[in-house]
Amino acid sequence: MRANDRTLTLKNVLLATGVVLTLAMGVRHGFGFWLQPISQANGWTRETYSLAQAMQNLMWGAFGPFAGMAADRFGTMRVVLVGAVCYAAGLAWMALVTQPALFVLGTGVLVGLGLACTAFGAVSGIIGRVAPPEKRSWAFGISGAASSFGQFMMMPIEQQLISAVGWQNAFYILGALILLLMVPMAFYLREPSVEHAHGPQQSVREAASEALGNRSFLFLVAGYFVCGFQVVFIGVHLPAYLKDQGIGNPSVAVLALALIGLFNIFGSYYAGKLGGRFPKRYLLSAIYFSRAVVISLFLLAPLMPLTVYLFAAAMGVLWLSTVPLTNGIIAGVFGVKHMSMLAGIVFFSHQLGSFLGVWLGGYLYTTTGSYNIVWGIAIALGVMSGLINLPINERPLVRAQAA
């Protein structure tokens, strides 16, 4: 890629996308802290807030391919600017709206669109285009580590904000922080035209059709569904689960979610690094099988703060380590011209899983009084995804050249 703008270096792109991902994913991972205070303040069951979070994840996924198309065509800078404004507006909406249907709808659309424009799918294309092929998997790992650092950093901040200024004011402060930091970073992501990106001059329709007709791409789509189900169910419902099981000290849940973020810094970084040396499909399978084992051991072990922290650390290593490997396979097989759009399609499947995981957690808790069924589903899906990723073909597609 010919970078006409001197700011468009790999170092600057990783720095800017790192800040954007730190905030986008860090704030989002803390939404579980608001489940109980919002539900109590508005007289809702847990299902209402869970449905809002499920809708947000679904809309994030639905908007993802279109945000990716826009980033590929019009540049990442414009997409991130739109996302920052929508994200901040969505947080304000969550603070102000008390009517359940409007709360669910507004949270889903505004925060979902904000995340679609500021999270992995939207920024993966510029990383793939700027990074040389031999550093691409590593660069995706760095971006994954940045989002994990956001979770580690933002978890205690969000909990302290809720305690210090109340849950509504905490939303306002986080919205202002997103605008103040994301908007300046967006200008480091100004791209020249990407029409000259390497690879055949496919249209968006042709690129999407090619990918959706590829068996390995469909395996990635199916595997990512499981990733979304597991991580969002745990991220939103773990604090409430611990309280239900007698661990009433909220600092245990805060530290657990922070540990997930801390250990995923290493998990994402080394997944990206190892993805440059070993077949990515085998690494993905190992991650999903390991998640099933870790969840099983957590449920079998005596529940105490120590076992919670060990579970969080182990899940942290496996948390978003799927992202650099999945994006690396997409870039390696299909090229980088439509990278953001294709990553958005795969991520839509992730968000369908997220929707089902967070909503089903709230629904089954309301109807059965327990999370046991959902934990069992998460284990079974982990085994299934480990098997699905094994036959993926990582070789670049050979396309007929146009005359």
- Only one residue has tokens 């939207």, namely 122
Three-state DSSP state, 251: helix
Query: Which residues of the chain does CATH 1.20.1250.20 include?
Result: 8-191, 207-397
Q: Quote the pLDDT of residue 401.
A: 53
**In contact, 94 and 28? CB cutoff 8 Å:** no
* Mean pLDDT (whole number) for 319-332: 87
Q: Which two tokens stand for residue 114?
A: 């904000």
* Least trusted range by pLDDT, from 185-194, 354-363, 371-380: 185-194
Q: Which two tokens stand for residue 328?
A: 């690396």
pLDDT band at 196 (very low <50, low <70, confident <90, very high): very low
Q: Quote the pLDDT of residue 380.
A: 96
Instruction: Please tell me the number of Cα atoms within 13 Å of 312 on its side-chain side.
Output: 25
Q: Quote the pLDDT of residue 400.
A: 57
The class (CATH top level) of 207-397 is mainly alpha
**In contact, 17 and 117? CB cutoff 8 Å:** no
Question: The domain 8-191: what is its CATH number?
Answer: 1.20.1250.20
pLDDT band at 65 (very low <50, low <70, confident <90, very high): confident
Q: Quote the pLDDT of residue 3.
A: 43
Distances in Å between the Cα of 324 and the Cα atoms of 66, 225, 275, 376, 381 are: 21, 16, 8, 27, 21
* Mean pLDDT (whole number) for 351-356: 85
pLDDT band at 23 (very low <50, low <70, confident <90, very high): very high
> Which residue, among 103, 342, 336, has the nearest Cα to 198 in the 3D structure?
336
Q: Quote the pLDDT of residue 193.
A: 57
Percent of the chain at pLDDT exceeding 70:
94
Distance from C-alpha of 91 to C-alpha of 261, rounded to nearest angstrom? 22
Per-residue pLDDT reduced to its tens digit, 223-249:
999 999 999 899 888 888 898 888 878
Q: Quote the pLDDT of residue 137.
A: 79
pLDDT band at 403 (very low <50, low <70, confident <90, very high): very low
When the pLDDT of each residue in the chain is averaged and rounded to a whole number, the result is 86
Q: Quote the pLDDT of residue 334.
A: 86
Per-residue pLDDT reduced to its tens digit, 36-58:
899 889 888 877 888 888 888 88
More confident residue, 101 or 151: 101
